[in-house]
A and B are shown apart, each in its own frame.
Chain A
Amino acid sequence: MAANKSARYGMVIDLDRCTGCGACMVACAIENNVPPANAKATERTGITWMRVHRLGNGRPFPDSRAVFFPILCQQCGHHTPCVAVCPQNAVEVDAATGIVDQMPQRCLGCRYCMAACPYHARYFNWWDPAWPAGMEKTLNPDVAPRMRGVVEKCNLCHGRLHRAESKAAAEGRRDIAANDYVPACVEACPAKAITFGDLADDQTEVAQLARSEGAFRLLEKLGTESKVYYRSERPWVHQAVKSGIGKEPQRG
């Protein structure tokens, strides 16, 4: 796997395997120094770079069925909406890795990118990042916490990518080893539902899974060429995705 040969890092998430345990969400928050919820935070204002939704088939008991649907930045590769609208150039697509990167130092908090993102995968820091007193010493030293008033999102654990690159450099290699760069959510998934790797390399498992039957991308019609694929063998999941993601079991 080469960081400098125009890799296209992406993942395939097997919805038939995801148990909805939330290990990916927790591991992501710990790895990327995403703070615990502010007392006033809700589903709308909280920060979860990776968020697992429950997608139901819309039928009542006992015919109701559901899958757990992890949504993160889809790493759009074409006409990346958030890049196009950012007035600060705070978002860029890394040509070497294909990763859509957010630079909080440049972000002025206008939230255009949040409005533009068709996947609702961007989050705004409504509060100062705060951990209970004393717990700051458990922060990941490789990732800077973000300030109040800026937008953040999944960057496929850039801190881990840098570590892998540093390790390769220290060992005199130009290429990083596949095992050295694994995002936290992929590593933490107990069901092994997430396969990560270089989509540009046809030999990788992730590239083969992305081309396999049952694989799809969200909102493919937008032509964003996202690098996060999903898989399911359940026809109703494909149907539900076509008719609009985020449709949860009927409530109220």
Chain B
Amino acid sequence: MGLGRRDLLKLVGGGAAGFFLTPVPWRLIDGVAIRTESWPGVPDPPRGEVRTRYTTCTLCPAACGVRARCVVDQPVSLAGVASHPASAGVLCPAGLCGHHLPLLPNRLRQALARKGDNFQPVGIDAVAGAVATALADMRQNGSAERVAVLDARPGRTASLMYRRWLRAAPNGTYLLAPSAEATAPMGIDIARTGTVLSFGAPVLDGWGTPGRVLEARKTFRLIQVETRQSRTALLADGWLPIRPGTEAALALGIANVLIEEKLYDAAAARNASDFAAYAALAAQFPPQRAAQLTGIPAQTIIAAAHDFVGHGPAIAIAASDPGGGPLGEDEQIAIAALNVLSGSIGREGGFLPRGEASRPAGFEEAALAPEQGIAEVPDASIRVLIIDDARAAGTWCWSAIERKLAATHIVVAMTEFLEGAAQHADFAVPAPAYLEAGEDAPAPPDVPAAMFSLAGALLKPPPEAVDGAAFLNQVAGGGPALADVLKQRVAAIHASRRGEVFHYADASRTAVRDVKSAADLWKALEEGGCWIDHQPTPHEKPLFAILGDAPDRVLEAASGRLPADAQFPLALVPYGWRGAAGGAISPIMTKLYQESDLRPGGDTIELHPDTARKYGVADGHVAIVQTRCGSCQRRVRVDESVMPGVIQAEVGPSASGNCRPEALLNACGVAGDGTWRLARASLRRA
């Protein structure tokens, strides 16, 4: 039998086909796959001793306890501290990936000086020298101009040091950041609150101390007054979708119902010296008028008023959105006055005066420059401005600050990244990043009890990084280091023998009077702990004025913040989320706005379908939002939950990375009262 060409081909073909029926090719694929597992494209996780360390989060004023899982000294994950007296084991998304911040590639590692539109490296000595020269010049000429520190995170021990330094400086002015949460004069006894009437406060999305608030959510009723269907509005027991800028009108409308129907706390009202004037003001806003202004039906306003006082203790809160700029002072007065009617001031379940950890000698209030808001400072009056933690300043409208600067000025930004307000500075000085700075965290803004935690450094800062206090010492030619003042403060707390220490590691508590020495207290706090004062702060009920000196301004605010404008018929409402609205964030946060639809992203606007149709735009189009102060270009997202006639614009990170929040915030423009949370706008397709 001969072997022909055809047979040979059959043999080869059959052999090839048969080969694939054997396990060999599959084993080969498997083997190749295993080999490629460790190819250079896949990074190797670190190896080493795994241990747990503790600190306190300083990314926002909530001061949550942090448990860090470290490989050798490097944190690889962060989590909340269970049973923490304020944060209750919770960290927000930004806090969970906070350990990435010191390692971000755009980290500022050396001082920079502005040269035209760019920055050039410079020594920190040169920056301190420039500031010292300006101060000497001001002293010599008896200049009326100011030297100011703008503190993005007030309430820290470093803040006390700034204020003392400014007391000695020529016209030293200590400025609070716009919408600084930490400076709230009263805390909230939210665990015992019956009803929360929130005017735009993101109660369930990063307001106050999230762990504490969410824990208490099981017991309080929540009525959310907000134009936008925010996360809080979605989860509230009632949502009042209000026309933008008419919150004060609604507050007075509710007050009108309470006063007319005598549902208010008469005893509490007697403490208000101008209650009659307030009642007369509220009388101008019967539910029908309030309905006309706010777009909320009169019956709903009446029902909300009944709801508000029906499940006491009831509090009314007003807070600015993390991306939307501060609420106007007059609107805040109108809203806060509801607390007089509900009798929640100085009452359990209501507002209680905030306590404060003992201060070391030399830091009494009289020795410090007073706290001031930016709006209180005259325009063109600041010669030297030092911005502390400029990273947190990404959601400030720069024009609100710029107008306060003198013709000749120096702006120094202490910052980890060349972002936010630092981009406008003349000098950028590298500061220690989160987890690198050994500092303190003041009491969270909504906690009435005095608290104090140390945010112990888990990582070493870059050699060039200096904290704000050290920089001011360099300018002044000497002064105590922050670490020394912190130790003095801990010693003062120990000397007070008040309160107790909560230990993060085992959730145990030790009374301060049982701590042997100030050094032991320091050690306990540094290893992970917080001091909390359980002695209630005595709350007097002094006579006070509800409207202060501003009844006319409150009336004006209640008449509507956004007057009709034929050229700009739409209302632009910027909003953001705490921890990510401005400044650098971990790249892992892309999970929330790029790799999923959870957050719209800072390059979008959201419109109601009717609004979109009217202006000829559709989902995915790029549109130009124009206001009297500027414009910005954004991708359109059509959403039926948006109020018709409103443009919702997120202030935050974006997938494209090329849409900075600044353009939007500047387009909003700064109103006379220093706010920029709303603007009239028009829209067209790009």
Contact = CB atoms under 8 A, between A and B. Distances in A.
A195 to B, nearest CB: 15
Contacts of A137: 46, 71, 74, 76, 103
A251 B211 contact: no
B587 A36 contact: yes
Interface string B587-601: 111111011111100
Interface in A21-45: 21-23, 25-27, 29-31, 33-34, 36-37, 41-43
Given A29-B591, A190-B214, A250 B609 contact: yes
B501 to A, nearest CB: 24
Contact of A25 (B79, B217, B592, B641): B592
Nearest to A52: B598
Contacts of A107: 33
A22 B598 contact: yes
A30 B638 contact: no
Q: Which are the 4 A-B pairs with shortest beta-carbon distances?
A: A46-B595, A36-B587, A128-B41, A37-B590
A47 B591 CA distance: 8
A141 interface: yes
A224 interface: no
A188 B241 CA distance: 31
Contacts of B495: none
Interface stretch (A145-153, A170-178, A204-212, A213-221): A145-153
Q: Which of A30, A53, A192, A248 has the most CB of B within 10 A?
A: A30
Contact of B229 (A66, A88, A147): A66
Given A26-B97, A105-B37, A108-B33, A141 B71 contact: yes
Q: Which of A105, A143, A147, A188 has the most CB of B within 10 A?
A: A188
Contacts of A51: 596, 598
B587 A144 contact: no
A20 to B, nearest CB: 5
A139 B43 contact: yes
Contacts of B97: 26, 30
Interface in B452-495: none
A251 B639 contact: yes
Q: Which of B42, B91, B589 has the most CB of A within 10 A?
A: B42
A222 interface: no
Interface residues of A, number: 77
B138 interface: no
Given A37-B590, A131-B43, A60 B640 contact: yes
Contact of A251 (B79, B105, B235, B637): B637
Q: Which of A26, A147, A191 has the most CB of B within 10 A?
A: A26
Interface in B551-595: 586-592, 594-595
Given A56-B641, A252-B638, A20 B96 contact: no
Contact of A22 (B48, B100, B592, B639): B592
Nearest to A25: B591
B33 A21 contact: no
A104 interface: yes
Contact of B91 (A23, A25, A105, A150): A23
Contact of A104 (B37, B229, B620, B655): B37
A137 B592 CA distance: 23
At the interface, is chain A mostly helix, strand, loop or mixed?
loop
A23 B92 contact: yes
Contacts of B120: none
Nearest to B99: A138
Interface of A: 16-17, 19-23, 25-27, 29-31, 33-34, 36-37, 41-43, 46-48, 51-54, 56, 58-62, 64-68, 88, 104-108, 128-148, 150, 184, 187-188, 190-192, 248-252
A238 B75 CA distance: 42
A106 B214 CA distance: 43
Contacts of B239: 62
A249 B600 CA distance: 14
B33 A106 contact: yes
B43 A129 contact: yes
A62 B642 CA distance: 8
A137 B47 CA distance: 9
Range of interface residues on B (Cβ < 8 Å): 35 or more
B639 A132 contact: no
A80 to B, nearest CB: 21
21 contacts: A21-B92, A21-B205, A22-B591, A22-B592, A30-B76, A33-B45, A37-B587, A51-B596, A66-B229, A88-B26, A132-B105, A134-B105, A135-B100, A139-B43, A139-B76, A141-B48, A147-B36, A188-B79, A188-B91, A249-B639, A252-B618
A36 B590 contact: yes
A91 B274 CA distance: 73
Contact of A140 (B45, B229, B598, B619): B45
Contact of B588 (A29, A108, A146): A29
A186 B205 CA distance: 18
Nearest to B657: A39
A54 B598 contact: yes
A67 B233 CA distance: 11
A26 B42 contact: no
A192 B587 CA distance: 25
Given A23-B96, A64-B229, A132-B104, A144 B594 contact: no
Contacts of B638: 251-252
Interface in B611-625: 618-620
B407 interface: no
Given A26-B588, A30-B77, A106-B30, A146 B93 contact: no
Interface string B179-196: 000000000000000000
B261 interface: no
Nearest to B88: A190
Contacts of A29: 588, 591
A135 B43 CA distance: 10
Given A107-B33, A138-B75, 6 more contacts: A26-B592, A27-B79, A34-B591, A36-B590, A62-B239, A64-B640
A68 B598 CA distance: 9
Given A21-B206, A48-B596, A61 B643 contact: yes
Contacts of A53: 596-598
A141 B37 contact: no
Contacts of B507: none
Contacts of A42: 594-595, 655
A36 B595 CA distance: 9
Contacts of B205: 19, 21
B637 A61 contact: no
B46 A47 contact: no
Nearest to B644: A61
Nearest to A131: B43
Q: Which of B39, B96, B205, B638 has the most CB of A within 10 A?
A: B96
Nearest to B204: A19
A25 B590 CA distance: 10
Contact of A147 (B41, B96, B204, B597): B41
Interface string B59-97: 000000000000100111101100000000011110011
B590 A46 contact: yes
A88 B591 CA distance: 29
A25 B234 contact: no
Contacts of B235: 16-17, 19
A52 to B, nearest CB: 5
Contacts of B77: 27, 30-31, 140, 184
B3 interface: no
Contacts of A252: 609, 618-620, 638
B550 interface: no
A51 B599 CA distance: 12
